Amino acid sequence: MRWKKGAFVVCILILMLVIITAGAVAAPRFKLYYEVQEGDALVKVAKKFGTSVDRLKEINNLQKGTIKAGEELKIPQTYQAETDKKRDYQINRILLDEVYKTDRIIDGQFRQKNFVEREIVVKIKDKSTAKVDVSNLRTLDYYLKSGDTLYELAREFNTSVRVLRKLNNLIDTDVIRRGDKIALPINNLTPKQVISKTISREELNLLARLISAEARGEPFVGQVAVGAVVLNRVVSNYFPDSIKRVIYQPGQFAVVSDGQINNQPTRQAYRAAETVLNGQDPSRGALYFYNPKTAKTMQWLSTRSTLVKIGDHVFAR
């Protein structure tokens, strides 16, 4: 009987060990992120979460120490219960009732997989848009691509996530789906940036064809400069207001008259067009370019202010 009692005690101990181990595994850990709001500074966020500016800079790899509205900051945490080390910010049920629940939390209840992974992501977001004024914003229609997020789009369009929520009536969710059309503000973009974000595949192909026909054989920077002249004309008050209308404006580009514009563009010409759309302008704002050896209107062109010479082309205003 003694050995039976001993075996029973051992079984009980093993069962208790299993329960304790399971409980340890089930105890979730948290990753906490805070969405930066308008007017926030690192010192303000550090005070809010009981940490230091240096700790926030370290954990978020902030070299310059500046933050922008809509950006997500990781809030430092410590999970060691057995040490005397002071914890950083504590996450508890009260906090969970107040924060924005991610897709890993449902109505405050943790999914089973989270207990196994022992990690739960919590994001504190100010979703209120009551004080956001979008009445004077100019917008463009944008079709969402794979990987797009409100945060990335806000950064790209130099605005805030709250503005995007208000514009698109995203009150209870930040979920956006590929293929959906949303409104994006363009007030904080330059005219050239607006062109780069609204250009059609047809216009990109046309721009590449012009570059290829006008600057084949020129150095790459010269090809970029030719494309830049087209964009400079689009935003100028003295020329048409679209890439297609600028290129086909009568009497402006010889390659349109002789049909070379219809030739297949080179890969380098496409790359030059994309470089222009990304903001580069080696022409220094030129509205004209010409080859002094072949130009037929040198008398008029000589009255223009020369800005730079690249390869065989002179760029002028």
- Structural domains in the chain plus CATH codes: 26-124 (3.10.350.10), 139-189 (3.10.350.10), 198-316 (1.10.10.2520)
Sign, CA dihedral 265-267-270-275, equals: negative
**Residues 180, 281: Cα–Cα separation, whole Å:** 33
Instruction: Please say whether the beta carbons of 36 and 67 come within 8 A.
Output: yes
Q: What is the pLDDT of residues 163-220, one digit of tens each?
A: 898 899 887 667 788 899 999 999 999 999 999 988 999 999 999 999 999 999 999 9
| pLDDT over threshold 50, residue 59 | yes
Summarize the confidence of residues 73-89 as an average pLDDT: 55
- For residues 154-176, one letter each, b for 16 or more C-beta atoms within 10 angstroms of the residue's C-beta and e for the rest, the string is bbebebbbbbbbbbbebeeebeb
pLDDT of residue 72: 84
- The average confidence (pLDDT) of the chain is 79
| pLDDT over threshold 60, residue 105 | no
Q: What is the pLDDT of residues 251-289, one digit of tens each?
A: 999 999 999 999 999 999 999 999 999 999 999 999 999
CA atoms within 13 A on the CB side of 159: 24
Q: What is the DSSP string of 46-102?
A: HHHTT--HHHHHHHHT-SS----TT-EEEEP----SSS-PPPSSPP-HHHHHHSBP-
Beta bridge partner(s), residue 314? 290, 309
pLDDT of residue 109: 38
| pLDDT over threshold 90, residue 235 | yes
pLDDT of residue 66: 82
Closest C-alpha among 258, 247, 251, 254 to residue 294? 254
pLDDT of residue 313: 94
| pLDDT over threshold 80, residue 221 | yes
84 — pLDDT class (breaks 50, 70, 90): very low
| pLDDT over threshold 70, residue 307 | yes
Q: How many CB atoms within 10 Å of residue 14?
A: 10
% the chain with pLDDT above 90: 39
pLDDT of residue 122: 66
**Residues 222, 265: Cα–Cα separation, whole Å:** 15
| pLDDT over threshold 70, residue 90 | no
| pLDDT over threshold 50, residue 228 | yes
pLDDT of residue 247: 97
| pLDDT over threshold 90, residue 18 | no
| pLDDT over threshold 50, residue 316 | yes
Lowest model confidence (mean pLDDT) among 37-41, 107-111, 127-131: 107-111
127 — pLDDT class (breaks 50, 70, 90): low
